Chains A and B, each alone.
Chain A
């Protein structure tokens, strides 16, 4: 695999939008050509080299390219947007929309990611080692068709309304999340390792949500189906006892499933 290293110079106060930083865009280009790839700086287009030192070796196919962003890019959005193959490693924090609309390949963020990571994701793997913001694995604003494939994993905590309008794929948050995870969810799997503040699966019609921690406030539109032990989700065995619910009956044709660990959640059981 050819490695291309982008060393961030300075992150400007006006955000950069780097949807062109993908293995697909870099494939078949020389390092000099890659330096001249345009990124958005506010409402202007500038060369990548204005904000990044570029070195390494490119390749003809996206699948043979690994892009390493060697440092924090706190104010750079859309890295890896729509990528189909290859790999990106961000050795620091990044801003909004990382891996949004991605269809294949692999992105690893070693720090934190902003909101909308993996928005409308269709395939591939997006891994965030730190925390992530709101609306990760969600739909575009206004749309009712969200993340449909791939695996999005967050090792830290995540924000509000994650997996909104999710249709397929798998979203795993090891830490805690804020309100309304899986809101309007229609398919796919959402696994939350930590706690949820409130309204898990609001107006969900399909898909599965597992909460291993504590749900502070639960919605009334869910039907209690009983307790299950050692559940199997997408071929993965999750040990322990879970309350099983079906809903959200606030909406027509509700067929979503929520598993909530029995430990600490006695207050939501009937």
Chain B
């Protein structure tokens, strides 16, 4: 069925379109040049149109997310939806159930979301949750930064084997990118410790965080992956950690990006940088170092960051950074789940209350906003809350409204936040306001491009997937800085959301809840003869140490209902062969 979205104001940074009135034509799930006269008309007069949102870093599927759901019934109780309108029942404020996760993303006009931390051993569980997560296209990033094979080969200085193992692991887990969490630190946690900074060697393997970041950054380009290495730095949440952060950012800067798919031009994606911008030596003399980190990012061209904006909610923290979660539990005394994932990684889960009146959360809010407002080029920023760590993804519309309205921020700073927001950060002195174009950049364009998916995602040019959000915001008649509550509401409940050309949301309500998204994964091999050698090691350690058999470990492609393998020899397409999901560069 053909459709045409008429008279909307288009915000499409990847095609340099800033608020022009244009029509968007849709045929067979794609954006096309023109449609026939009898195409279904969607009237977007007085409304804005953006590509569907692309969330590059969120925690929505897999074992630790499910621990969050199971051990926080008091969180489930805070947001309960009955079934109806074809939708399943669901619950959960900070960790919603799988179906509800899909619905809630779609209602905000988001159509792609990336699970940012998948323990390889639990890949099957992660993909099973994707089975029950409607609407959104997705992928999962397997954890590499504390993996025994990676550390063994890096210790031996054998990048070829590191690359061959990495390619095998991406295929085996149906994973999408190289995720690094507290490199060397989570393995040290298995020994009861942590590492401090990037030059502290891990027990036994004797490699450092810096070795792991550099080695995997090189491997990323040897494999030509669409996404950059996805780095959660060491020392998360510790006062004084900004030096580690900047030193980590500097490690891969001379490596040249060589993606074999997509148009990524950055070498490093650093995540939830808000948690990594703290100066001082303890929480008494703590001061924001966001200006220093922003300055580094402003002067660098090899990096994209996401923020991890604190939303001032009661939420659930969950990460593969096991020692950090222990620190957090020691700090707030709330319930703590901890897990060691055999030879691969670990994880922890702790509830956290970011109370506006408390000094540290108020400062963290300020640090995130400083990054947003002091990094000059929004092409280097993705909007995230590290959902649910700094706040649930359902708060993205509020973050957008904060960015667009100094008045909204100042109301909060003056009336609700602890004074540390003003004394420990510079946020109250920053009056920059994001334009709708910049909002589209940080919520769709930057993320699609750095993920390597900008052929089909994050823009509205011909050839893109018809994933489109129409919001009831009129920049010609509304003062968006003053009417921030209306902006927040409009971004929370999109007027229309189209997924693959189908209307899935109408006036903020799901109307087609039974559409399921694609799973992107990397189907590549690095030097088959090296892989043969690597698999000898892998099978040996499986026999010795793993709790599962080698043969039972890989997630078979049959497990992925809408499989979209990238790279590889075969032409990328849907498993069903119905339509090629990925086309060549169309712009």
- Residue positions of A touching B, CB distance < 8 A: 139-144, 252
| Bitwise interface map of B from 62 to 88 toward A, beta carbon under 8 Å scored 1, else 0 | 000000000111110100000000000
Q: Is residue B430 contacting chain A, with contact meaning CB distance below 8 A?
A: no
Task: Tell me, in angstroms, the Cα distance from A143 to B77 when the chains sit together.
Answer: 10
Contact B335 A144 (CB under 8 A): yes
Q: Is the CB of A140 within 8 A of B333?
A: no
> Hey, which chain A residues are within 8 Å of B333, CB to CB?
252
CA distance A117 to B585 in the complex (A): 64
Taking CB atoms, residues of chain A closer than 8 Å to B75 are 142
9 contacts between A and B (CB under 8 A): A139-B74, A140-B74, A140-B77, A141-B74, A142-B73, A142-B74, A143-B73, A144-B334, A252-B333
User: In the bound complex, how far is the Cα of B335 from the Cα of A140, in angstroms?
Assistant: 15
Contact partner of B71 (CB less than 8 A), chosen from A139, A142, A252, is: A142
**Interface of B: prevailing SS:** loop
Q: Which residues of B contact A143 (CB under 8 A)?
A: 73-74
- Which one of A140, A142, A143, A252 has the highest number of Cβ atoms from chain B below 10 Å of its Cβ? A142
Quote the shortest CB–CB distance from A79 to chain B (angstroms).
Answer: 19
Q: List chain A residues, Cβ under 8 A from B335.
A: 144
A contact residues around B74 at 8 Å (CB): 139-143
What does the 1/0 interface line of B39-74 toward A look like (CB < 8 Å)? Answer: 000000000000000000000000000000001111
- Measured between beta carbons, the chain B residues less than 8 angstroms from A139 are 74
Whether B334 contacts A141 by the Cβ 8 Å rule is no
Q: A141 vs B77: C-alpha distance in the bound complex, in angstroms?
A: 10
> In whole angstroms, what is the CA distance A252 to B329 when docked?
12
Across-interface contacts of A144 in B (CB, < 8 A): 334-335
Please, how many angstroms separate the alpha-carbon atoms of A204 and B73 in the complex? 22
Q: How far is the CB of B575 from chain A (nearest CB, A)?
A: 37
Measured between beta carbons, the chain B residues less than 8 angstroms from A142 are 71-75
The distance in angstroms between the C-alpha atoms of A9 and B335, with both chains bound, is 45
Q: Taking the nearest CB of chain B, how far is it from the CB of A81, in angstroms?
A: 13
CB-nearest residue of chain A to B71: A142
B334 contacts which chain A residues (CB < 8 A)? Answer: 144
Kindly state the separation between the CA atoms of A41 and B74 in the bound complex, as whole angstroms. Answer: 24
Taken together as a complex, chains A and B put the C-alpha atoms of A266 and B115 apart, in Å, by: 59
Given the complex of chains A and B, what is the CA–CA distance between A142 and B73 in angstroms? Answer: 6
With A and B bound together, what is the CA distance between A144 and B352 in angstroms?
A: 12
Min CB distance A131 to B, Å, is 26
Q: Render B324-335 as a binary contact track against A, CB cut-off 8 A, 1 for contact.
A: 000000000111
Closest to B74 in A: A143
Chain B nearest CB from A255 CB (Å) reads: 14
CB closest chain-B residue, reference A251: B333
Which 4 residue pairs across A and B have the least CB separation, nearest first?
A143-B74, A142-B73, A142-B74, A141-B73
Say how far B358's CB is from chain A's closest CB, in angstroms.
Answer: 16
- CB contacts (< 8 Å) of B77 on chain A: these are 140
Question: B330: nearest residue on chain A (CB-CB)?
Answer: A252
The proximity string for B residues 163-176 relative to A, scoring 1 for CB distances below 8 Å and 0 otherwise, is 00000000000000
The docked-state distance in angstroms from the alpha carbon of A140 to that of B78 is 11
Cβ–Cβ < 8 Å partners of A252 in chain B: 333
* Alpha-carbon distance between A24 and B77 when the two chains are bound, in angstroms: 22
Q: Which residues does chain B contribute within 8 Å of A140, judged by CB atoms?
A: 73-74, 77
Q: How far is the CA of A143 from the CA of B314 in the complex (A)?
A: 12
* Extra pairs beyond A141-B73, A143-B74, A144-B335 (11, CB < 8 Å): A139-B74, A140-B73, A140-B74, A141-B74, A142-B72, A142-B73, A142-B74, A142-B75, A143-B73, A144-B334, A252-B333
**Among the interface residues B73, B74, B77, B334, which one has the most CB atoms of the partner chain A within 10 A?**
B74
Please measure, in the bound complex, the distance between the C-alpha atom of A144 and the C-alpha atom of B351, giving whole angstroms: 11
Interchain CA distance A156-B33 in the complex, whole Å = 78
A103 CA / B431 CA spacing, docked (Å)? 44
Closest residue on chain A to residue B351 by CB atoms:
A144
Measured between beta carbons, the chain A residues less than 8 angstroms from B73 are: 140-143
A32 → B minimal CB distance (Å): 27
- A206 → chain B, closest Cβ, in Å? 13
- Give A255 to B403 CA distance when docked, in angstroms: 45
Nearest residue (CB) in A for B82 is A43
Complex-state Cα separation, A143 to B75, whole angstroms: 8
Q: Could you give, for residues 478-497 of chain B, a 1 whenever the CB lies within 8 Å of some chain A CB and a 0 otherwise? A: 00000000000000000000
Q: Which residue of A lies closest to B70 (CB)?
A: A142
Kindly state the separation between the CA atoms of A144 and B350 in the bound complex, as whole angstroms: 13
A144 to B336, CA, bound (A): 13
Residue of B nearest to A140 (CB): B74
Distance between B525 CB and nearest chain A CB, rounded to angstroms:
46
Chain B positions 313-345 with a Cβ under 8 Å from a chain A Cβ: 333-335
Alpha-carbon distance between A132 and B74 when the two chains are bound, in angstroms: 23
Residues of B within 8 A of A141 (CB): 73-74
Q: How far is the CB of B496 from chain A (nearest CB, A)?
A: 32
CB distance from A42 to the nearest CB of B (A): 14
Q: How far is the CA of A252 from the CA of B333 in the complex (A)?
A: 9
User: B72 contacts which chain A residues (CB < 8 A)?
Assistant: 142
* A141 CA / B75 CA spacing, docked (Å): 10
Nearest CB of A to B433, in Å: 38
A140 to B75, CA, bound (A): 10
Q: Which of A139, A144, A252 has the most CB of B within 10 A?
A: A144
Chain A nearest CB from B67 CB (Å) reads: 12
Which A residue sits closest to B76, measured CB to CB? A142
Q: How far is the CB of A135 from chain B (nearest CB, A)?
A: 13
A141 vs B70: C-alpha distance when bound (angstroms): 11
A136 → B minimal CB distance (Å): 18
Instruction: Give CA–CA (A143, B351) in the complex, Å.
Output: 10
Q: Taking CB as reference atom, which chain A residue is nearest B72? A: A142
Query: In the complex, A77 Cα to B251 Cα: how many Å?
Result: 61
Min CB distance, A164 to chain B, in Å?
13
Closest to A143 in B: B74
Query: Closest approach, in angstroms, between the C-beta of A263 and any C-beta of chain B?
Result: 36
**In the bound complex, CA of A219 to CA of B188 (Å):** 35
In the assembly, what is the distance between CA of A142 and CA of B349, in Å?
14
> Given the complex of chains A and B, what is the CA–CA distance between A72 and B278 in angstroms?
61
Return A161 CB to nearest CB of chain B, in Å: 15
From A144, which residue of chain B is reached at the shortest CB distance? B334
Cα–Cα, bound, A229→B216 (Å) = 70
User: Which residue of chain B lies nearest to A141 when distances are taken between CB atoms in the complex?
Assistant: B73
- Shortest A44–chain B CB gap in Å is 12
Interface flags, B430-448, vs A, CB<8A=1, else 0: 0000000000000000000
How far apart sit A143 and B71, CA to CA, in the bound complex (Å)? 10
Assembly CA distance A139 to B77 (angstroms): 13
Q: Which of B333-385 contact A (CB under 8 A)?
A: 333-335
Give bound CA distance, A142 to B314, whole Å. 14
Q: Please, how many angstroms separate the alpha-carbon atoms of A144 and B75 in the complex? A: 12
Least CB distance, B186 to chain A, in whole angstroms: 25
C-alpha spacing A139/B75, complex, angstroms: 13
